[in-house]
Amino acid sequence: MSRSFVLDLQDTAGRRGKRPLFPRQPPRYRPCDCSPRSVLLKSIFPVEQREAVVQRRAKEFQEYKARTSSVLSKLLHALPNSPLQYPIQGYTVRPLTPTLIPGNGTRELSIESSSQQFLNELLANVSYASTIYHINSGDLAFFRFENHEAVFPIAIKQPQVPVLYDMGTDIKSQVTIVTKTFLRYPKLKVLLDSIRRFYPDVTVVVADDNFEPENVTGENTQHYIMPPAQGWFAGRNLAVSQVITKYFLWVDDDFLFTESTKIEEFVRVMEDVPELDVVGGSVAGNQFPFSIVYEEGDGVEGGCLLRKSGGKFHPLPGHPRCYFTQGVVNFFLARTDSVRRVGFDPQLQRVAHSEFFMDGLGSLMVATCGDLKIGHQLKSAQSKNVRYNKFRHPNRSDGVFKSQRLFFKNNLKCIRWA
């Protein structure tokens, strides 16, 4: 006596009227609780502006979810003792690829056989074709055999063209040193002199938004002049945009290369652990790693974020003095293409650093290494420069703008800097 097998291909463009086979997934977005001493970001806005801002943010958040969510995020449960053999992960098709589905392209396929083995073998050869174009989406295929029901995910992805870097064999073809300078030309000169002492052939990119630009010259030095006072992150974006090597080393303009500053060791760590995107070092003996605790919250109130000093995880394989973390000091080696994908928010002009790692949370693998070192120049009369300190230590309005920016851009309910 033959037995019936039914495969229901529920394409993302089709109807969704069937009863789900598995328990419902808990809601993904739940309200989050702000930790003590958090800043409630909505309260930063004037009362008469709050409702309009909240509505605009809610619209943007819904569009963000539409771009980033997928049916593949649905929670699936494997049924016990099922005789069916089917893929549970890794089944990927290209969008709109013309692959025939048995049954003349219908959405439901019925097969009868007395052999369970035959049905399993046939299932392994059933093909699928999406009917709408999307470069990164998914679908769920449901099927039944007697009293057994199952579902498996299908990833719909457009293959990406690799972007590879020919590193070469010397450090100058592997790493570019990048920095930004503002009202600190004497500091910059000391930094460049120290770099040339140890790495005369490595390219240095300088982004400069001074009010009265001076010539910054030297072998293998690229000097890019910006409009005045464009800010910290705008300068970082410009500098990184000019890098042509696989990696770049970020340094502040008041750092100092010493005999302990070994760029080659940075590269060795990154090459040994290719999943890494950023490796931070030690500035004058301080690593300053930090962790980021983030709860998504709901689409109305937004998420809760805690930026906490410290927070090292387990050591890197083969590098006992290096630890995974989520944020590092302003001395780090990074994969050029990884950082470009995240970018630096140019609207954050003054005090900004943690915000880059907040934007990269979930996409950047970060580590910190205590034996990768650089020095810091001693304080001088420059530290008493009234004009410089006006920008280095922003007033309350800058803090208000940053809070309002984080409220909207990162969909945050509250934030705490611990």
Domains and CATH numbers, the chain: 3-25+74-157 (no CATH), 171-417 (3.90.550.10)
Rounded mean pLDDT, 105-133? 69
Ramachandran quadrant class, 177 (left: phi over 0; alpha: psi -120 to 50; beta: rest): beta
Q: Which residues contact 302 (CB under 8 A, 6 or more apart)?
A: 41, 57, 61, 407, 411, 412, 413
Alpha-carbon span 320 to 367, nearest angstrom: 12
Query: Which of 147-161, 305-319, 333-347, 382-396 comes out lowest in average pLDDT?
Result: 382-396
Rounded mean pLDDT, 344-352? 87
Number of CB atoms found within 10 A of residue 219's CB:
9
Confidence band, pLDDT 50/70/90 cuts, at residue 16: very low
Judge whether 374 and 251 are in contact, CB under 8 Å. yes
Confidence band, pLDDT 50/70/90 cuts, at residue 113: low
Q: Which two tokens stand for residue 92?
A: 């990927």
Task: For residue range 223-259, list pLDDT tens digits in order.
Answer: 999 999 998 899 999 999 999 999 999 999 999 999 9
pLDDT confidence of residue 383: 57
Alpha-carbon span 170 to 274, nearest angstrom: 19
pLDDT confidence of residue 106: 52
> Is the pLDDT confidence value at 357 over 80?
yes
Rounded mean pLDDT, 196-222? 96
pLDDT confidence of residue 150: 73
CA torsion 238→239→244→247, rounded to 10°? -130
pLDDT confidence of residue 28: 59
Judge whether 269 and 386 are in contact, CB under 8 Å. no
Strand 332-335 relative to strand 278-283, pairing: antiparallel
Rounded mean pLDDT, 305-311? 92
Q: Which two tokens stand for residue 343?
A: 């970018």
Query: Which of 32-41, 60-69, 252-261, 351-360 comes out lowest in average pLDDT?
Result: 60-69
Separation in Å, CA 359 to CA 307, 329, 345, 352: 12, 16, 9, 12
Torsion sign over Cα 45, 50, 52, 55 = positive
CA-based Rg of the chain, rounded to a whole angstrom?
27
Judge whether 279 and 269 are in contact, CB under 8 Å. yes
Rounded mean pLDDT, 17-40? 69
Q: How many residues make up the chain in this entry?
A: 418
Per the DSSP assignment, residues forming a β-bridge with 283 are 286, 374
> Is the pLDDT confidence value at 337 over 80?
yes
What's the predicted TM-score (pTM) here? 0.83
Torsion sign over Cα 90, 95, 98, 102 = positive
Confidence band, pLDDT 50/70/90 cuts, at residue 349: confident
pLDDT confidence of residue 366: 97
Look at residues 409, 320, 335, 344 and name the one whose alpha carbon lies nearest to residue 366.
Answer: 335
Alpha-carbon span 223 to 225, nearest angstrom: 7
Task: For residue range 49-83, list pLDDT tens digits in order.
Answer: 999 999 999 999 999 888 887 777 666 666 666 66
* Strands in 80-129 per DSSP E: 92-93, 108-113
Helix, strand and coil content of the chain, in percent to the nearest 5, comes to 25, 30, 45
